[in-house]
Amino acid sequence: MTSRPAPSPSSSARPRRRSALLPTIIVVAALVIGLVIFAGVYTDFLWFDQLGYSTVFWRERLAKLIIFLAAFLVMAVAVYFSIRVAYRARPIYAPDNARDDNLNRYQVQLEPIRRVVMVGVPVVFGLFAGTAAMAQWEKVLLFLYRVPFGSTDPQFQLDISFYTNTLPFLGLLIGLFISVAVVSFIAGLLTHYLYGAVRLTERGIFTSRQAQIHMAVIAAVFLLLLGINFWLDRYATLQDNGGYRAGAMFTDVHAVIPTKSILAAAAIIVAILFVVAAFMGRWKLPLIGTGMLVVTAIVAGGIYPYAIQQWQVKPSEGDVEATYIGRNIDMTRQAYGLSDMTVTPYNATTTATAGALRKDADTAANIRLLDPNLISSTFAQLEQYRPYYEFPKTLNVDRYTIDGKVQDAVIAVRELNPAGINPGQQTWYNQHLVYTHGYGVVAAYGNTVTSDGKPVFMQSGVPSTGVLGTDTSYQPRTYFGQSMTDYSIVGAPEGATHVELDRPQGSSTTSTDTTGTAGESMTTFTGNGGPSVGNWFNRLMYALKFQSSDLLLTNGVNSKSQILYDRTPEQRVSKVAPYLTIDGNPYPAVVDGRIKWIVDGYTTSSYYPYSQQQQLQDATTDSLTTANGVGALPNTSVNYIRNSVKATVDAYDGSVQLYAWDTEDPILKSWENIFPTTVKPLTDMSADVMSHVRYPEDLFKVQRELLGRYHVTDPKTFYNNTYAWSVPDDPTTAAVDKQPPYYLSLKMPGQQKTAFSLTTDFIPQVVSGTESRNILYGFMAANGDAGNVKGVKSPDYGKLQLLELPPDTQVPGPGQVQNTFQSDPTVSEQLNLLKLGQSDIKNGNLLTLPMGGGLLYVQPVYVQSTGSTSYPTLQRVLVAFGNKIGYAATLNQALDQLFQGDSGAQAGDANVQKDKSAAGSSTTGGTGGATGSNPALTKALNDASQAMKDSQTALTKGDFAAYGVAQKALDAALQAAIAAEGAAAKTGTTPSASPGATASPSAKATPTP
């Protein structure tokens, strides 16, 4: 026997070396991902710390981390032990059939990685559970720091905080534990099956004793949790929106709640039976109990309530549900702040009588003629100065005290427009280091225009001048605003070369910080507005955050550089107060020597008992939000809302101040406990800021949407729905969208003084597919004057007053009034005159005012010529009272047409007097209009009107020769009208600006003699 020779060293198999490339790639990728995540967290901390809100950063993230870990551990540990118990209970046997043999092969293949799988599977499920629970961090914190409401629900007599704070947390907790039980059961069952403790045989399913006990215990835990869930469902019926109205209705109270109690008890009994059976080995009772539980759930939870609803409720629903509808009405009105609304019967007259407006002279003096939704392009053409500036599409309405008199103002910030930078100059350096801020506010009197229809500015120009201050008395530079969506790097050591472009500079302009040329001044940011990027580590972190190598390599960053980002008012407030819903319309005000954005913040809940759910986006969408694509609230549902916080954001340094506005709101009190010292007491709010606080727009929209039904407080009348209202569509737009609310200074019936208010109309409910009369049923105003005393809110602020017109009212609604304006032959003829020369007519906002014992409608009419640089100017005013209308060049003239030449509206109002002085230099028309102060202009307009009629007659007859003659006459008449108006302007009959005001450089208002 010969032996084989030993293999030579050269022929022996050498061990293969593992390539180090793959592990290296994995390690490097992990490090890069980790560094990017760290950069995000680190830069977030720098942002919060610089603003002074590091408490919010740490507490929010610590809360999320703890919640994540708790949910992760509960799920992961439970699943691990379920798998572990099942594995240790595996039977030891030899395979006796093909199926068992296959399982044995699976076990052999799994064995090398068994430990990894037994740990990996629980970890994966734990990560899912932790991530889901972490997203609910607000529910957990609101439960832990809950504050009682001090009022109870009408069914269980529990404090409202149980429903808003406790019940959501318990639901989260039970949901997590039920998920843990289900996943643990499935994981354990699969492990038992894989290792043979549970297997299919010819006689059925074989289950080992250990597997039976294991599965029975988990099933018992599941049923116990199910029983608790049934019990909590009793309280959740008060939050249900599936019935006629939100809350527990008759069927819920008399069928659903009792059956939920029965199901809870049955589930707990069956759970006990499973535990007993697990140790006794007798499964008949728990199986029967499970079957009975299913049957009970079907019968008691579904069939029985359905029968009650169909046979007891529906035949007499209005009477049977009256008690519960009453609960819904009361709780809904409480939840939305409608309980204290004052309802005033208003038997509005439709007859205009001489001197009827004398009692309303203050309101008439403040009627706003400038439409903030139309004149953005007017502001841009007159006050933009450079293409790298811009104004928002919709301007804001505020008020300022000038010479002791409160004046409504249309105001906007001249913000930076990065898209306006010359394309050839849109380099990274220019976009982030040179063009960094806007400059100044522009404000115009709301009730005054120049002779040619332009705004009369109370604040304007570059440098900024006017009654609100100069660029030395207030800080005009705007580094934080609504158009600031990109980051900027600002700041430099003292004496360093200025990099930031400041503003345009004329030949007469001087500036101490100017180092620029070619008419542009340069500056350097000197505030504390953002985290430092003066060291290499912070620069690296922000280069990673913004994925910009330029930020890391540029020589434009120095030891004093700061980086400004998250620069819109909404972003800054929502980050430092993540529990708030932010109003969609922050507005600027010049206060305390600064431009500050005032932002309204809401605390909300969707768990208030018996309160009707409201979809925020639908409620806050109107013709303005649709046209501009911004402003509406998020697509979420709530049934409780409070304007709990007023915030300010400094436009220069971005500092954020939160003030507790609704100090009685329990949800805000809970958040103040969670984030102490972040919300300042109202006593810290300055008098200047207080004077510019107004009633929030989005809250008002939500309230008016609900008020369409909930102005009715009698349950049976509510059920019959005979007095339901709708918010009218905006008649000034072609799209079918709700009319926005309007800010006006007015004196409501019964009030002693004028208040800056937010107003809206109501018409009969509009049912889809049917026509409804567009007549006025109601008018609501919210008092927005908070006063001007430091830290003291006026007791009248926030009061809602509803003027309720009689059901048989004949007062036209906005739609009818607009139709009358457009169809009136005289008005139509005059509007056609304004359209000559390819001009467009733009209808301004249609304002409704309770005046003269009725409702007065006022609409400014703007004319805009064609061309890229055209802009609308106010040329006419339309007014309506009842079925009578007026149309003239000035508001006073139009009112005098309505009220027989004696409206009484001019008394004691300087601005209206100035407006009236424009009559001699502006054309007039309409029913009864006259231009007696300018006979030449009157004749020219009459000739033009006749020429238009002759032209139309000639076209009808097909006489083109006559048509040509009429057109020549029309052209001559228009030239004569222009000449007459120009001659009148030279006589000094144009309106003057208010003291200290400045007008457009191209159209200064001259003083009234």
- At 456-498, the pLDDT tens digits run 999 999 999 999 998 888 999 999 999 999 999 999 888 787 8
Residues 376, 412 contacting (CB under 8 angstroms): yes
Q: Can you give the pLDDT at residue 826?
A: 85
Cα separation, 856 vs 68, in Å, equals 59
Q: Which strand (E) or helix (H) includes residue 744?
A: strand 742-746
Q: Give the amino acid at 396.
A: N
* CA dist list (Å): 692 to 218, 606, 689: 61, 31, 5
Q: Can you give the pLDDT at residue 631?
A: 73
Helices (H), 400-498: 428-429
Q: Which strand (E) or helix (H) includes residue 504?
A: strand 500-504
HSE-up (13 A, CA, CB side) for residue 901? 3
Q: Can you give the pLDDT at residue 711?
A: 95
Q: Can you give the pLDDT at residue 930?
A: 41
Other C-beta atoms within 10 Å of 117: how many? 12
HSE-up (13 A, CA, CB side) for residue 184? 27
Q: Which residues of 418-443 are buried (b: 16+ CB within 10 A; e: fewer)?
A: beebeeeeeeeebbbbbbbbbbbbbb
Cα separation, 97 vs 95, in Å, equals 6
Q: Can you give the pLDDT at residue 329?
A: 97
Cα separation, 994 vs 456, in Å, equals 8
Q: Can you give the pLDDT at residue 507?
A: 40
Q: Which residues of 943-971 are buried (b: 16+ CB within 10 A; e: fewer)?
A: bbbebbebbeebeeeeeeeebeebeebbe
Q: Can you give the pLDDT at residue 440?
A: 94
Q: Which residues of 484-514 are buried (b: 16+ CB within 10 A; e: fewer)?
A: beebbbbbbeeeeeebbbbbbbeeeeeeeeb
**Residues of the chain falling short of pLDDT 70:** 1-19, 92-107, 200-205, 506-519, 629, 768-772, 837, 902-933, 951-952, 954-961, 963-964, 978, 980-1009
Q: Can you give the pLDDT at residue 82?
A: 94
Q: Which of 270, 271, 243, 275 is nearest to 257 (CA)?
A: 243
Residues 55, 675 contacting (CB under 8 angstroms): yes
Q: Hey, what's the torsion of the CAs at 426, 432, 435, 440, to 10 degrees?
A: 140
Structure tokens at 436: 């960094």
* Sequence-ordered list of residues with C-beta below 8 angstroms from that of 82, at least 6 positions apart, any chain: 184, 185, 187, 188, 191, 214, 218
Q: Tell me the pTM.
A: 0.85
DSSP 171-236: HHHHHHHHHHHHHHHHHHHHHHHHTTSEEEETTEEEE-HHHHHHHHHHHHHHHHHHHHHHHHHHHH
Cα separation, 77 vs 353, in Å, equals 83
Structure tokens at 341: 């609304």
Q: Give the amino acid at 796.
A: D
Q: Can you give the pLDDT at residue 411?
A: 97
340 burial (CB, 10 Å; 0-12 / 13-18 / 19+) is exposed
- Give the angle 660-153-159 at the CA atoms, nearest 5°: 55
* CA dist list (Å): 917 to 113, 206, 869: 93, 102, 29
HSE-up (13 A, CA, CB side) for residue 623? 21
Q: Can you give the pLDDT at residue 904?
A: 65
